[in-house]
Amino acid sequence: MKVLVIDDEPEILRSLETYLSLRDYDVLTARSAQEGRELYADEDVKLILLDINMPETSGLVLLREIKNLDHTTEVIMMTGYNSLDKTLESRELGATEYLLKPFSDMEEVASTVDQAAARIERWQEALRDGLREQRRDREDENG
Amino acid sequence: MGDSSEHQFDPYDEVSSLVRGVAHEINNPMTFIRTNAENLDLLVRELKQHLREFPEEDPEEMSVSEIESGIDDALNGIRKGIGRINKVVDDFRDLATGGTEFVEIDLEDLVDTAVELGGFTVENLGSMTVEYDDGVRGCTVSGNKMKLEKTIINLLSNAAHAIEDRFGRSPSNQSGRVAVTVERTGGDGAPTARIAVSDNGTGVPSDLEDKIFSPFVTTKEQGRGTGLGLSQSLSIAREHGGDLRLEESEQEEGATFVLEIPLRTGKSKSSKEGEAET
C-alpha cells in the first residue's frame, strides 16, 4: 500500500521511508505541504503521515484540504509535545491518529500505520462489494 | 485578582522560552535517530538470516554469533542513549512549562483532554471507559494544566503497558480494559476530585508496591520506562495539594491508581465568566 510522508526535515523523511519500506509499504515523501499537495493530486494515496509544524503551510491547513477532497483518506499527524493543542485541533479536522515526536516506541508507529492501512483495505473491500452488488442488480434487471 | 504584569521582563520567562525552543529543536534529530536505530535493527535481523547460511570456519576471526551480540549491544546502547536524552529534554521542558502559575481549570476539560491524548495508547489494546460522577460536573481545580494532564496521561500509559505485558500487542487481541472514573469526595469541608485509573493488566508486583513511587523504580523492561513517571506524578499531585496512590493491585488481574486534587468550590462552565471568586 502507498503511504505519503510529509515533513520538512529530510532526515525524518529518509528514516521513515526506510522504516516503512522495510514493512512493505510503498513510500512517497514530500518536504513541504505544497509538495505533498501535488503528490496527493497525482498519486493514488489513501494513507498519509503529516507533520503539523512546517514552514509556509502548516500540516493542519493541508489536513483540512485533504479531508475536504476525500474524507476517507487516513491522515496520521506527527507532532512535538509543544504542539499538543494543535493535535486536538487536527482530531477535530478528521485526523485519524497522532504520533508524538520524538517517537518513544517504534512499534506504536508501525501499529498506528498498520491499523490505518487495515481500515483503508476494509473500506475499499466494502466499496468493491457494493459495486459488485450494483452490477449484479443491473445485470438482473437487464435479464 | 487581575494580572498587571503584562510585558514585564521576567528572567524565568526568558529561560523558559529558551528551554522550550531547545527542546523543540532536539525533537527532530531525536526522531530520526530513533527511527534509524530501529531501521538498523530490522536490517541487521535480515543480515543475520543471510549470515546463518555461511559456515563458521576461522577460529581466529569473530564468530557470527559474536558479531550478532556485538551489534545487539551497540543498538541497545544507542536506544539507551536516546532514552536518556529524551528524559533530560522532558525534564527541562517540565521545568520550562511548569512555572508556579496556577490557573482555574475545568475538571472535565482536563480529564477529557488527557484521555483524548493518552487514551490513544490504550485504544489499540482494548476498550476504555470514562465516567463522571454528577458531583464533579462543572467543577474546577486550581493548577498547572499541562502538568496535571501529563500526570493523567502517565497513568493511562502505565495502564497500557501493564495490559500489553499481560496480553501482548496484536490487533486480534483486544482484551485490555481501562476505566477512568472521576468522583467528588471529601464532603463540603474539603471537596476533592478523585480520578481513578483502573486497568486489567499485570498489576504491580507485591514486592514493589511500597516502592513504586520512588524515583528509578520501574516494572517495565529496559528502555520503556525511566522509572521517574510515578515519582514525578506524585510530586505534581502534591504540588497541587493532592495525592497519588496505588489503591488496589492484584497479580495478573490489574491495578487502580488514584489521583486526588482539591476541588475549587466554584462551578465553571455555566458561571466561569460571571463569578468573581478569589
Q: Is B255 exposed, middle or buried (0-12, 13-18, 19+ CB in 10 A)?
A: buried
Give the residue numbers in A contacting B (CB under 8 Å), as ranges: 9, 11-12, 14-16, 18-19, 22, 80-82, 84, 87-88, 91, 97-98, 101-109, 111-112, 114-115, 118
Give the three-class secondary structure for B247. Answer: strand
Task: For residues B229 and B223, give the distance between their C-alpha atoms in angstroms, rounded to a whole number.
Answer: 13
Looking at the complex, report in whole angstroms how far the Cα of residue B33 sits from the nearest Cα belonging to chain A.
8
What pTM was estimated for this model as a whole? 0.57
Query: What does the pLDDT read at residue B226?
Result: 43
Q: Contact, B202 vs B272, CB < 8 A?
A: no
Task: Give me the residues paired with residue A100 across strands.
Answer: A79
Higher-confidence position of B190 and A35: A35
C-alpha A83/C-alpha A33 separation (Å) is 18
Average pLDDT over residues B26-44: 89
Whether the predicted pLDDT of B88 surpasses 80: no
Half-sphere exposure of B167 (CA within 13 A, CB side): 21
Angle at alpha carbon of residue B226, lines to A114 and B211, rounded to 5°: 125
Q: Where are the alpha helices (DSSP H) in A23-105?
A: 33-42, 59-69, 84-92
Q: What is the predicted pLDDT for the residue at B97?
A: 60
The half-sphere exposure of B273 on its side-chain side, counting CA atoms within 13 A, is 1
The pLDDT value given to residue B220: 58
Rounded Cα gap, residues B237 and B152, in angstroms = 10
Interface test with B, best of A12, A31, A87, A121 (most B CBs within 10 A): A12
Q: Collect all residues of chain B within an 8 Å Cβ-Cβ radius of residue A116.
A: none
Which residue out of B26, B27, B93, B226 would a mutagenesis test of the A interface target, given it has the greatest number of A Cβ atoms within 10 Å?
Answer: B27
Say whether residue B80 is in contact with chain A using an 8 A CB cutoff: no
Beta bridge partners of B193: B184, B261
Lowest-confidence pick of A29-43, B13-27, B36-50, B86-100: B86-100
pLDDT digits (tens, 9 = 90+) for B196-245: 999 999 999 888 887 788 765 565 554 454 445 788 888 889 989 999 99
Higher pLDDT residue, B151 or B3?
A: B151
Exposure string (b/e) for B173-198, b if CB count within 10 Å is 16 or more? Answer: eeebbbbbbbbbeeeeeebbbbbbbb
Per-residue pLDDT, B223:
42
pLDDT beyond 80 at B157:
yes
* % residues pLDDT > 70 (chain B): 77
**Pick from B153, B155, B256, B151: nearest CA to B203:** B256
Asked if B31 reaches chain A (Cβ–Cβ under 8 Å), the answer is yes
Half-sphere exposure of B137 (CA within 13 A, CB side): 6
pLDDT at B268 over 50: no
Q: Compare all CA atoms of chain B with the CA of A91 and give the residue at the minimum distance.
A: B116
Q: Note the ipTM here.
A: 0.79
More confident residue, B7 or A88: A88
Give A44 or A86, the one with higher predicted confidence: A44
Cα of A124 to nearest chain B Cα, Å: 19
Q: Is B23 on the interface with A (CB under 8 A)?
A: yes
Query: In DSSP terms, which residues pair with B196 in a beta bridge?
Result: B181, B258
Q: Which residue of A has its CA nearest to B116?
A: A88
Most confident listed range (A119-123, B69-73, B84-88):
A119-123
Q: Which of A31, A53, A40, A35 is nearest to A3 (CA)?
A: A40
Is residue B3's pLDDT more than 50? no
- Chain A closest-CA separation from residue B30 CA (Å): 6
Q: How far apart are CA B278 and CA B275, in angstroms?
A: 9
Joined together, the cell numbers standing for residue A30 give: 514530500
Tell me what pLDDT residue A25 has: 96
Quick check: A19 and B39 CB within 8 A? Answer: yes
Q: Tell me if residue B85 falls in helix, strand or coil.
A: helix
The whole-number pLDDT of residue B269 equals 44
Residue B98's pLDDT band, with cuts at 50, 70 and 90, is low
Task: Say how far residue B76 (Cα) sits from the centre of its chain.
Answer: 22
CA separation, residue A132 to residues A72, A122, A126, A129, B77 (Å): 20, 15, 10, 5, 54
Count how many pairs of residues, chain A against chain B, have C-beta atoms within 8 Å.
78
